[in-house]
Structure 1
Amino acid sequence: MPSLLFDPLPVFAIPVKGRDSGFPVRRIFCVGRNYAAHAAEMGGEVDREAPWYFTKSVAHAVISGAEVPFPAGTDNYHHEMELAFGIGAEVKDATEVEAASAIFGYGCALDMTRRDRQQDGKDNRRPWSLGKDVENSAVFARMTPAAVFGGPASQRIHLEVDGEVRQDASLAEMVWSPVELVMHLSKFYTLVPGDVVMTGTPAGVGAVQAGQEITGGIDGLDPIGLTLLSS
């Protein structure tokens, strides 16, 4: 193997509750329109035939508590509070049992979005990368092992901006459960340890400004936070 021209980026790892070792992230898959009320507020509908996805770069991931610059190129930067889960075993064309067994752990996450750039993509039938794959836009709190969390049911999911509640819903509102997502996604990709899935956001998304603090949580999981600085 030839020598490298420059040092590669360090491995991004999510801290794990009760473990000294972190969860090294390989890929980030994001689920679109997994809450009917959020789909409606965005002028769309959920696809109940099958889930669909977009991706975020691991290079754009940060850990909860980060203070990051407000991104360039947007006048409409939105918060999206989500449940994320990590894959801990290789699966392809997973059965329900295999999918459940492949989920290593769960955690709170933020999918920050340049909404104006995303809308540009929608309006012009172009990719959403400028809207979704944004620096510092994939935020992860400490992950809790699945055996400890027990899996999503009707836990509350919520988000606040400067202490004001913006999103407040239940995980029971998800159209596609994590197990169903693994079963479907593994038909198209061989999922391996280190893959992360962000499961979509409930209704109540909205714009944030430089200087504001975003906090959120899901019952039974570590809370999440992000501070936006002036760019």
Structure 2
Amino acid sequence: MNQELVGPMLRARGYLFVKLLRVGPAGAERPAVLAEDGTPLDLSGVTRDIDGDFLAGGLDDARAAYAAGNLPELAPARIGPPVARPGKIVCVGLNYRDHAEETGAGIPAEPVLFMKAVNTMVGPDDRVLIPKGSVKTDYEVELAVVLGGRARYLDSPDEARALVAGYAVSNDVSEREFQMERGGTWDKGKSCETFNPLGPWLVTADEIPDPQDLAMRLSVNGEVRQDARSKNMIYGIDHLIWYISQFMVLEPGDVINTGTPAGVAVGRPDAPFLRAGDVMEVEIEGLGRQRQALASHEVSG
């Protein structure tokens, strides 16, 4: 792609859309923006990383650098999670009516919240490890919301959308025996290592005019297990951000997993739980596609 044409082309359209990603080995990813031809362009000259500080105040700098057309290309490499070091990952349970019904739970009167350890987050195509002792590892396609502003005791859901930096594909991998049969909170079935592939991109909010009507799909070994739309959420994105802000302060870079539709293994007698060697493919309209192979916990590295 001729980078000299990028700025004029985008200005003629009246917008500067951005797909953000992080490219390179785990722990040494470089911040990047995706060109229209799919080439990652290095943002290291604009920001040290795609983190809360950048999302709170650096997006305009990224757009300006992209529009100028002089960002260097990055060689093809592993894609990491598109957000670095989020302060927290907040998850919403039972937020699709069909999923609540398939698990035998009632429709929640208020959003069900739980936390997922931040170090569960891996790249979209990284290996997912079956935990030691697991017999019920499960999958969940989810729309992830990444904050670009601070949300504290919001007065109404109307204030929420302006605080969204962007959206991403999330796979909220879960161990159901740990979650449901071992007592205590859900967190221990949600926080095993590698249990939150995120990405491939963080698509900025201005590129997704209606995040409440996106197609979502997950397959295991080529068999479609989940196929739905985000419009089927019980509690929408704006409501969730407002609601969560009544109980904790959301900061720039924080991630919200907004729930999963029906089709998970725990709700389907015909769908076995995940085993080493299985392959998950996860996609959301406009947000990209993930592919993860599952391995035994004994495999290191």
The TM tier, using the shorter chain, reads 0.7 to 0.9
**Counterpart for residue 5 of structure 1:** none
Do the aligned partners of 1:91 and 1:190 also contact (CA within 8 Å) in 2?
Answer: yes
Whether 1:161 aligns to 2:220 is: yes
Whether 1:118 aligns to 2:179 is: yes
Whether 1:42 aligns to 2:106 is: no
**Counterpart for residue 152 of structure 2:** 92
Whether 1:224 aligns to 2:290 is: yes
**Counterpart for residue 139 of structure 2:** 79
Which residue identity is paired with 1:57? A
Counterpart pick for 1:134 among 185, 192, 208: 192
TM-score after normalising by structure 1: 0.87
**Alignment partners' CA distance in 1, 2:30 and 2:223:** 30
**Alignment partners' CA distance in 2, 1:12 and 1:76:** 32
Q: Deviations over 1:88-111 (max 9, x none)?
A: 011212233321100110011001
CA radius of gyration, larger in: 2
CA 1:100 to 1:135, structure 2 compared with 1: closer, same or farther past 3 Å?
Answer: same
**Alignment partners' CA distance in 2, 1:55 and 1:159:** 22
Give 3-state SS (helix, strand or coil) of 1:39's partner: helix
Q: Once superposed, which parts of structure 1, at least 4 consecutive aligned residues long, lie more than 6 Å away?
A: 11-16
Do the aligned partners of 2:129 and 2:193 also contact (CA within 8 Å) in 1?
Answer: no
- Structure 1 gaps, min length 5: 1-8
Q: Deviations over 1:165-208 (max 9, x none)?
A: 00001111101111110110011111110110000100000121
**Counterpart for residue 145 of structure 1:** 204
**Counterpart for residue 28 of structure 1:** 89
Do the aligned partners of 2:128 and 2:195 also contact (CA within 8 Å) in 1?
Answer: no
Deviation at 1:67, TM superposition (A): 1.5
Do the aligned partners of 2:149 and 2:251 also contact (CA within 8 Å) in 1?
Answer: yes
Deviation at 1:14, TM superposition (A): 8.9
Give 3-state SS (helix, strand or coil) of 1:175's partner: coil
Do the aligned partners of 2:157 and 2:239 also contact (CA within 8 Å) in 1?
Answer: yes
Which residue identity is paired with 1:89? G
CA 1:205 to 1:131, structure 2 compared with 1: closer, same or farther past 3 Å?
Answer: same
CA 1:195 to 1:11, structure 2 compared with 1: closer, same or farther past 3 Å?
Answer: farther
Which residue identity is paired with 2:100? A
**Counterpart for residue 113 of structure 2:** 53
Q: Deviations over 1:99-131 (max 9, x none)?
A: 11001100110011111111214xx4x222321
Percent identity among equivalent residues?
32
Counterpart pick for 2:279 among 205, 213, 223: 213
Aligned residue pairs total 219
Do the aligned partners of 2:89 and 2:257 also contact (CA within 8 Å) in 1?
Answer: yes
- Structure 2 gaps, min length 5: 1-25, 36-40, 44-48, 51-82, 266-272
Which residue identity is paired with 2:232? E
Query: Which shifted more, 95-104 or 194-203?
Result: 95-104
TM-score after normalising by structure 2: 0.68
Which residue identity is paired with 1:98? E
CA 1:69 to 1:91, structure 2 compared with 1: closer, same or farther past 3 Å?
Answer: closer
**Alignment partners' CA distance in 1, 2:191 and 2:34:** 27
Do the aligned partners of 1:89 and 1:102 also contact (CA within 8 Å) in 2?
Answer: yes
Do the aligned partners of 1:17 and 1:145 also contact (CA within 8 Å) in 2?
Answer: no
**Counterpart for residue 123 of structure 2:** 63
**Alignment partners' CA distance in 2, 1:162 and 1:91:** 39
Which residue identity is paired with 1:76? K
Deviation at 1:12, TM superposition (A): 9.0
CA 1:159 to 1:14, structure 2 compared with 1: closer, same or farther past 3 Å?
Answer: farther
